[in-house]
Amino acid sequence: MADASGSTERDGRLWMEGKTLVQLSADQERPTHMPRGPAKRTGPGFLNPAMAPARTRSVLLLADALEHDWLVKPDHDLRALDALCATGVRVRRWRNEVPAEHQQRLRITANDLDNVALNRLIAAHEHHPPATRVDHALEDDRYERLPSGTMHNGLFVMNNDARIALMEAAYQWVDLDPFGSPVNFLDAAVQGLSRVAFLEVTATDTAALTGSSASSGQRRYGAKGIVDSYAHDDAVRVLLGLIATTAARHDRCVEPVLALFDGHHVRVSVKIRRSREGASDVLQSMGWRVRNEDGTYRFVQHPAPDEVGKASGPMWIGPLWDKDIAGRMTEERVLSLCNPTEDDISRGQANGLIWNEDDSKYAARELVRSVRYIAQAADLMSREHTLYHMDDLPNMAGVGHGPKMEALFEAVQQNGYHAARVPDIDPFFVTDAPHDELMAVVRALLA
């Protein structure tokens, strides 16, 4: 039975992610503002708060595509599908947090196999509606056969196997966020995309992607890993490689926009367009990472027989990000789109949200953390660079301890190169300085 605020007996407390109200299930504890690590439990109504930063970045990317017209023409609609939407927090955030001026162009479909989760999505969307009302009718000309689903204040909700949902209309934006590996859904996702499209993929099977589970890495990704300082970057590149080769099989090519190892999952976002020539070139961006004697690495298309033991791959060896798009993912931007106003909070509180000043402070800090280091690293991550783990520097340079990161970056810049920290749980940085010059800088700093 629902009360005046729309809560049912099975519902727990209200929570706010970004500026969107989320109804937690009764048995879920209040999330902390900085959750790390894999979710302790899952279930139909369970919200995984550790995925909030990925959802926040998804809001930023979608808003950026509409604002800068890099996916569809200015006067065209953009059709977005969250193929495995669970309780629909991502689609509700798209509807609520992408700026109002773009909302009428945004057509959103939410799909999941779990009806209980979908009912929670529909109830939450009804009781906590988005700031802008959007009334689309179903675009029936878009579908081969009309899908079964229902429209709820600008969200079309379907209860299908994702592989069917993905093929039902040509979507320009597809989000794949499964439990574990996305491999089962990739073919359908790529085939269902429109001619020019954007695909975001989450993989939580990091053991397979990093190589720490060799057999599942081989089976799912056809890849061999080495668990060392480059394992996180390998994981990102192995997933990108699988997406690029899957796309190529369907005459499409990819351009990575953002690719991150975010603690316990990998998340990659790529533009995909139909192009036979582009697809034929895919192998030029595929290769292996071979470890050098000095602790660095080089990318090669094929390792020589005596290099195989110190090589991981095959993987994507091209650029990882789009400089302009990632460069716009700033702290100011995330706060202006996703930080709740006092009105948002008061409206939530009137519905039963318990939220104090500390919550506001921590939530804003978490939003900033979801884009931390991205804009600053955007240039280097979109061109050739070398990745370093701070902890490896003393050994590499033959010094007792490493320099401070800020001092190192300043010195690298004084030498005419660039360096930036990479968003990762570990202290990684990227630079375009040649290895010998970087080592000289490290030694000089510690002399």
Query: Which residues in this chain contact ligand SAM in the complex, by CB under 6 A?
Result: 51, 55, 82, 84-86, 89-90, 112-114, 117, 161-162, 177-179
Of 95 and 289, the one with the shorter C-beta distance to ligand SAM is 95
Minimum CB separation from ligand SAM for residue 40, in Å? 14
Minimum CB separation from ligand SAM for residue 176, in Å? 9
Q: Name which of 142, 1, 10 is nearest 87 in CA terms.
A: 10
The pair phi, psi for residue 280, each rounded to 5°, is -65, -25
Query: Rounded to whole angstroms, what are the CA distances from 166 to 81, 108, 109?
Result: 8, 13, 10
Of 35 and 178, the one with the shorter C-beta distance to ligand SAM is 178
Of 143 and 179, the one with the shorter C-beta distance to ligand SAM is 179
DSSP 205-266: -HHHHHTSSHHHHHHHH--B---STTHHHHHHHHHHHHHHHHHHHTTEEEEEEEEEEETTEE
Distance CA 431, CA 425 (A): 18
Minimum CB separation from ligand SAM for residue 82, in Å? 6
Minimum CB separation from ligand SAM for residue 45, in Å? 10
Of 130 and 403, the one with the shorter C-beta distance to ligand SAM is 130
CA atoms within 13 A on the CB side of 433: 25
Q: Are 315 and 299 in contact (CB under 8 A)?
A: no
Minimum CB separation from ligand SAM for residue 117, in Å? 5
CB atoms within 10 A of CB 17: 24
Minimum CB separation from ligand SAM for residue 31, in Å? 12
Q: Is 339 helix (H, G, I), strand (E, B) or coil?
A: coil
Query: Rounded to whole angstroms, what are the CA distances from 119 to 106, 108, 334?
Result: 22, 17, 29
Of 90 and 232, the one with the shorter C-beta distance to ligand SAM is 90
Residue 426 is given by DSSP the state S
Of 239 and 311, the one with the shorter C-beta distance to ligand SAM is 239
Minimum CB separation from ligand SAM for residue 114, in Å? 4
Of 163 and 435, the one with the shorter C-beta distance to ligand SAM is 163
DSSP 166-200: HHHS-EEEEEE--SS--HHHHHHHHHHEEEEEEEE
Tokens 């509409």 sit at which residue? 66
